[in-house]
Chains A and B, each alone.
With several copies, the nearest count.
Chain A
Amino acid sequence: MSVKDYIRQRFFPHIWCAGCGHGIVMSNMIRAIDQLGMAKNEVVVVSGIGCSSRITGYLDFHTLHTIHGRALAFATGVKISRPDLTVLVPMGDGDALSIGGNHFIHAARRNIDITAIIMNNSIYGMTGGQHSPTTPFGMKATTATCGTIDNEFDIVNLALGVGASFVARTTTYHPKEVSDILKKAIVHKGFSVVEVMSQCPTYYGRKNNMGYAVDLMTYYKEKTTPMGSKRKQEDPKLIERGIFMEESRPEYAHLCTLTDQRQT
């Protein structure tokens, strides 16, 4: 099918700003689903609140636009009740890791078969550009006009530390990587974390004098490198892309279906 077959066309053009990376994530998330040949009725997309979370309005699946930070908790209820459905949870960095950090680490711990896609623009886009837990130390935002004194999370390290069984990172500059990784993440039986670095030209770019979408994506191109690449060895400051963890472990929603048998 074509990408347009998966969207609710009447809401287009979408609300995201010109050059916002979230559209690229959406586009390639659709491609991944299409390439996997999944039926639209088998997919549930759950989002929280944020620019990124507006994605649920656009996608023609079962869509659940919830409250800020709690998407994974809603998704857990969906998945346990219907383990046969594919549950995708696209989130903003604030949604996933600031207010939503607790649900994130616990979903990872349980290894429930949900694909968490973090559309990481290192800023709170929706509310107008405040710093987020992934805003790198020293970068500017409307609540950190001289540069934030907060350290940032490394999403990959965080996900590994809390036990996610699939962990990957890529960027909007690398759209095929996005869909390739997402395909694996979706197929993976367990909790999958996919960080996609996704530009917010309107706030992150502007506040930090980093230019527009093209400049930010160029930055992603230049400052990232495939895992274990030679470039990384030469320049350890580069951010690695790729799949950092992919391990088969007992899955939670499945274990839940067994509990009645275990008891008798």
Chain B
Amino acid sequence: MGEKQLKKKIIIDREWCKGCRICVAFCPKKVLVLDEEDKACWKNSEDCINCGLCELRCPDLAIEMA
């Protein structure tokens, strides 16, 4: 399986994100961080394995994979 093709992007809705840090803490690859405004953002995007856990665990429906 060509890894590259599979890879979806993580889209974070900054309006909806409340900075709870759940996605950050539980990302298996530590891909996400909170920025200075306490909003989640994709940092080490290349490490993302598209496990989707951040999307499933975000309490604010602020993460979508596409």
Contacts and interface: CB of A to CB of B under 8 A. Distances in A.
A223 interface: no
A146 to B, nearest CB: 29
Interface residues of A, number: 31
B57 A14 contact: no
A4 B59 contact: no
B26 to A, nearest CB: 7
Most buried by A among B25, B26, B56: B56
A4 B56 contact: no
A59 B56 CA distance: 17
Query: Main secondary structure on chain A at its contact with chain B?
Result: helix
B18 A214 contact: no
Nearest to A24: B59
Nearest to B56: A175
Given A3-B64, A214-B26, A16 B59 contact: yes
Interface in B18-66: 18-22, 25-26, 53, 56-62, 64
A212 interface: yes
Contacts of B15: 12-13
A213 interface: yes
Contacts of A217: 22, 25-26, 57
Given A20-B59, A24-B59, A31-B56, A212 B64 contact: no
Contact of A19 (B16, B59, B64): B59
A173 B23 CA distance: 11
A162 B59 CA distance: 31
A209 interface: no
A18 B56 contact: no
A7 interface: yes
A255 to B, nearest CB: 36
A129 B63 CA distance: 29
B64 A2 contact: yes
Contact of B58 (A2, A12, A17, A27): A27
Contacts of B21: 19, 212-214
7 contacts: A13-B15, A16-B59, A23-B60, A26-B61, A27-B58, A213-B59, A214-B20
Interface of B: 15-22, 25-26, 53, 56-62, 64
